[in-house]
Copies of this chain bind each other. A is one copy, B any other.
Amino acid sequence: MHTATEHDPAARIRAAGLKVTAPRLAVLEVLSGHGHLDAETVFERVRGELPTTSLQAVYGVLAALSGAGLLRRIEPAGSPALYESRIGDNHHHLVCTKCHTVADVDCVVGEPPCLEPSDAGGFSIHTAEVTFWGLCADCRSVPAA
């Protein structure tokens, strides 16, 4: 029913035509949760268990894995690029205008492009990216501080 590819990080990397290396496994591990992390943060966490890893290696790994579709990269205005492991569904994001925290929102519509523009102006659209901007619960409870 399930192939090993679905759960085993090494198999997923290999299936993407990439070599399986310690930094790549470490990056996938760091991003296996539900966070939205920037390259610097991934680097710090990877360093914890793989101290010889360089920041450039992390940039390379993030580019390779997101290029291969194993990670998703988002770039909200005002934040550095963020990476997440939730892929394959075309979900969207909530960004706090004050603290820049990012949360996921399920896409109510479905398959990408989950929305169609009224007039595509000659473009052939393949994705609709939706970013909701607002105040997160924490920032709302601290009005002027």
A60: CB under 8 A from chain B?
no
Interface size class of A (residues with CB under 8 A): 35 or more
* Shortest distance from the beta carbon of A66 to any chain B beta carbon, whole Å: 11
Interface readout for A84-98 with B: 1 if CB under 8 Å, 0 if not? 000000001010110
Q: Which of B77, B103, B129 contacts A121 (CB 8 A)?
A: B103
Contact A78 B75 (CB under 8 A): yes
* Identical chains in the assembly: 2
**Chain B residues, CB < 8 A from A94:** 117, 120-121, 123, 125
**Chain B residues, CB < 8 A from A127:** 132-134
Contact A118 B105 (CB under 8 A): yes
> Once the chains are docked, how many angstroms separate the CA of A106 from the CA of B134?
22
Q: Which of B119, B126, B131, B140 contacts A128 (CB 8 A)?
A: B131
| A residues in contact (CB < 8 Å) with B | 73-75, 77-78, 81, 92, 94, 96-97, 103, 105-106, 108, 113, 115, 117-137, 140
